[in-house]
Amino acid sequence: MTTTNTTTPTSPPTLDQVLAGMSASLGGNSVPRMVQLAAQVMPEMVFRHAQDSGFAMPKEDGALAEETRTLLLLGIALATGSHCVENLVNKAKAQGIDDAKVLETFKIARFAEATRVFNNTVPLFAKLAGEQ
């Protein structure tokens, strides 16, 4: 008995489909300005960014839960001064992540930055402690 492969190859998504998917992941909010502009002047960057997102945060078989990924990304955005904070808060809300978890993420990011500043005091404190 022979079987016939009835699956058809899927077409790659269009730019509009990728943008719609990004918007949906943000709770239906607009995609970030950088994505809007890239869609106009360098659409291939939008596709690359979507691919990179899927690589970093696979929908299936990832080691971290989607909620954890979103909170981790939010914490990094807060700590690095990224313009993505608002979009990531929208994403957290769309995923139903409660406010207490979002606020704890802020506290962790704040502590990480405070620790960086504190660590930068080594030369200052060493000098004041009389070390050469």
Contact at 8 Å (CB) between 22 and 35?
yes
Is a pLDDT exceeding 70 seen at residue 46? yes
Query: Hey, what are 7's tokens?
Result: 């699956």
Tell me the pTM: 0.78
Contact at 8 Å (CB) between 78 and 89?
no
First to last CA, the chain: 85
Which of 87, 68, 67 minimizes the C-alpha distance to 77? 87
Is a pLDDT exceeding 60 seen at residue 1? no
pLDDT digits (tens, 9 = 90+) for 47-89: 999 999 999 999 889 999 999 999 999 999 999 988 889 999 9
Q: How far apart, in whole angstroms, are the C-alpha atoms of residue 124 and residue 131? A: 10
Angle, alpha carbons 40-46-50 (nearest 5°):
160
